[in-house]
Chain A
Amino acid sequence: MIRSLRIIAANPLSLTGLILVLLVVLAAALAPWIAPFPTHNGAIVDFAYANQAPNARNWMGTDLVGRDIFSRILYAYQISLLLGVVVLAIATPIGTVVGLLAGYLGGWAEAVLMRIVDIFLSIPPLVLAIAVMGVLEPTLTNAMIAVTAMWWPWYARLVYSIARSEREEGYVLAAEVIGAPTAHIAFREILPNCLPAIITKMTLDMGFVIIIASSLSFLGLGVQPPTPDLGSMVAEGARYLPDSWWLTVFPGLAILLAVFGFNLLGDGLRDVLGVDE
């Protein structure tokens, strides 16, 4: 653990990623305490301060109904991170189990499971999510379901490709000769050898899930007002560019910061864990 941190710290890019991720996580966790206007999280109007450019009172300006943009970004990070964590916490195990079984068992299991995965992968991700959201009501829970539905096949494919090559290794043969149960070979022997790649992908994907979720809410299919969300903040402000630039630029930068951080950290982890792509 300490050794891993040292390797990450040695690389300026990975270190930047780690710092950005910590910053985003802290901002989200401490939002109620550090936000200058914690009540601006909800449906509140303060027309006296509506549409203000950045100033000493509102560092990133205010939106059309007078809410502090900085405060709302901090709360929006909570939603983004929650969505990322929940999506990955569901998509990763599903994809991993499917990929492991297809890769290790081969034969019929492989043919059936991987064709299902191919069907999901053949639909452009955002289109799939939009389709799901079109059928379901646009809520946070449904946004999670939509993004999860498009995310798990990528894990299935990643784990499948590793498991397929691992099953040719001597240690798998050894376990088979002994007669170890299939579950033991898949989950105790092969899975540990897939974990570094899975963890790296999860870190990289946190950024991408945040982007997809923001894209959905940008299209009005994600989290609904008054809950602050980076994607919908950009969407609302876009109509008032370039005059009220702070409405879009700051939420946009907030997305950039989080995605950039997770990507750099993911690249750093790849080196630490020795994953080759």
Chain B
Amino acid sequence: MSLLRIDGVSKTFQTAGGPVHAVRDVSLEVAQGECLAVVGESGSGKTTLANMILGILAPSAGEIVFGGTPLAARRSPAQRRAIQLVQQNPLSALNPKRSVGASVRLGLDVYGIGTRADRWDRVEAALEEVGLPADMRRRGPAALSGGQRQRVGIARALACEPDLVVLDEPTSALDVLVQARVLRLLNDLRRKKGLTYVFITHDLAVVRNVADRVAVFKSGRLEELGPTERIFSAPEQPYTRALIGAVPVVDDAELKLRNTLAEAP
């Protein structure tokens, strides 16, 4: 059964230069436990789609159905809690004036998860789950590396116990080695917790590592949708072929090396 169904969704922005059609009549489904990659160049409507899934933007037309219920413009706390976000830029995603623990705890307070007394324990458990020491909760983000900040971002999303996580270019601001480790962590967490991912990226090498299916976007339209293997081996649309052709080739030996490095502590 599909966890998320996007049904004929469009989004049009009214600007001074006339209407801009950011997303045009997109329909797709995401199954429970699946990782769907959404790829496309910048301006293809990926982020607008993500913002509609998250409830930051309301669709101009169409419907977003989550767990069998159509989502209204104003969502209930339970509906918001079920869909969480991991952002692209870990530098700005954490408030420089608040401790890492306070940032992770916010969702617990808003949704009333756990009791007041055990929320700090939950924050620490969430940090440990993403491979950070529990006492890091007292630190400010300035003391953390980019990879550590991104782990905090993941911990903040997962502390809310979501069903679906929207990952908006979660690794594109990180260097290659850290990128591989964060991807591994995301894969492990998905398997362990049965999470569903909508993974927005322009990095097709990343897509190959994590996604079950790929949705290719071009100027607001869903150009092609299919299993990762098929998209890479036999792309149907010329645009998809061009996109894949633009990826630097990574051979098996290099992939293996990357994975070995990623496993190192």
Taking Cβ atoms with an 8 Å cutoff, the residues of A that contact B are: 169-171, 173-181, 184, 188-189, 192-193, 195
Q: State how many angstroms separate the Cβ of A157 from the closest Cβ of chain B.
A: 21
Q: Which of B27-50 contact A (CB under 8 A)?
A: none
Name the CB-closest residue of B to A193.
Answer: B97
**Which of B77, B87, B97 is the one whose CB lies under 8 Å from A174?**
B87
Q: Is the CB of B93 within 8 A of A171?
A: yes
Please state if A193 and B107 are interface contacts (CB–CB under 8 Å). no
Check A177–B56 contact: CB distance below 8 A.
yes
Tell me the bound Cα distance from A176 to B85 in angstroms.
10
Q: Which residues of B contact A (CB under 8 A)?
A: 54-56, 75, 77, 80, 84-85, 87-89, 91-98, 103, 106-107, 110-111, 153, 156, 160
| Minimal Cβ-Cβ distance residue in A for B85 | A177
Closest residue on chain B to residue A177 by CB atoms: B85
5 pairs of residues in contact across A and B, judged by CB atoms under 8 Å? A169-B92, A175-B106, A177-B56, A181-B110, A193-B97
**Contact status A174-B54, CB under 8 Å:** no
Residues in chain A near residue B77, CB distance under 8 A: 179
The answer to whether A176 and B110 touch (CB under 8 A), given A171-B103, A193-B97, is no
Q: CA–CA, A188 to B160, complex, Å?
A: 20
A179-B110 in contact given A170-B93, A189-B95, A193-B95 (Cβ < 8 Å)? yes
A48 CB, nearest partner CB in chain B, Å: 62
Beyond A178-B107, A178-B160, is A171–B80 a contact (Cβ under 8 Å)? no
Residues on B with beta carbons closer than 8 Å to the beta carbon of A195: 97
Determine whether the beta carbon of B110 is less than 8 Å from that of A178.
yes
Contact of A177 among B80, B88, B97 (CB under 8 A): B80
> Which one, B84, B92, B106, contacts A170 given CB within 8 A?
B92
Contact A171-B56, Cβ < 8 Å, known A178-B107, A180-B110 = no
Contact residue among A171, A176, A177, A179 (Cβ-Cβ distance under 8 Å from B95): A171
A174–B85 touching, CB < 8 Å: yes
- A173 to B94 alpha-carbon distance, docked (Å): 10
User: Nearest CB to that of A196 among chain B residues?
Assistant: B97
Which residues of the other chain, B, contact A177 by a CB distance below 8 angstroms?
A: 54-56, 80, 84-85
B224 to chain A, nearest CB (A): 29
| B56 A174 Cβ-Cβ under 8 A | no
A82 to chain B, nearest CB (A): 31
CB of A275 to closest CB in B, whole Å: 13
Check if B156 sits within 8 Å of A174, measured CB to CB: yes
Question: Roughly how many angstroms separate A174 CA and B84 CA in the complex, as a whole number?
Answer: 9
CB of A192 within 8 A of CB of B98, answer yes
Known: A170-B94, A192-B97; 20 extra A-B contacts, CB below 8 A, are A169-B92, A170-B88, A170-B91, A170-B92, A171-B92, A171-B95, A173-B85, A174-B85, A174-B103, A174-B153, A175-B106, A177-B80, A177-B84, A178-B106, A178-B107, A178-B111, A178-B160, A179-B77, A188-B98, A192-B98
Q: Roughly how many angstroms separate A43 CA and B9 CA in the complex, as a whole number?
A: 80
Contact A173 B87 (CB under 8 A): yes
Given A171-B92, A193-B96, residue A176 in contact with residue B56 (CB < 8 A): yes
A174 to B174, CA, bound (A): 19
A170 to B153 CA separation, bound complex (whole angstroms): 10
- A residues less than 8 Å from B153 (CB atoms): 174
Which residue on chain A has the smallest CB distance to residue B96?
A193
Closest A residue to B141 using CB positions:
A171
Does A174 contact B93, Cβ atoms closer than 8 Å?
A: yes
Shortest Cβ distance from B25 into chain A, in angstroms?
25
Please name all residues of chain B whose beta carbon is closer than 8 Å to the beta carbon of A193 when the two chains form the complex: 95-97
- Asked if B106 and A180 make an inter-chain contact with CB atoms under 8 angstroms apart, the answer reads yes
CA distance A192 to B97 in the complex (A): 6
A181 to B107, CA, bound (A): 11
Residues of A within 8 A of B80 (CB): 177-179
Chain A residue contacts of B84, Cβ below 8 A: 177-178
Max chain A C-beta neighbours (<10 A), residue from B54, B84, B85, B89: B85
What chain B residues lie within 8 Å of A180 (beta carbons)?
A: 106, 110
Residues from chain B with Cβ under 8 Å of A171 in the complex: 92-95, 98, 103
Q: A181 CA to B85 CA in the complex, in Å?
A: 18
How far, in angstroms, from A170 to B84 measured CA to CA in the complex?
14
Bound CA span A188–B103, Å: 11
> Please, which residues of chain B bring their CB within 8 A of the CB of A192?
95, 97-98
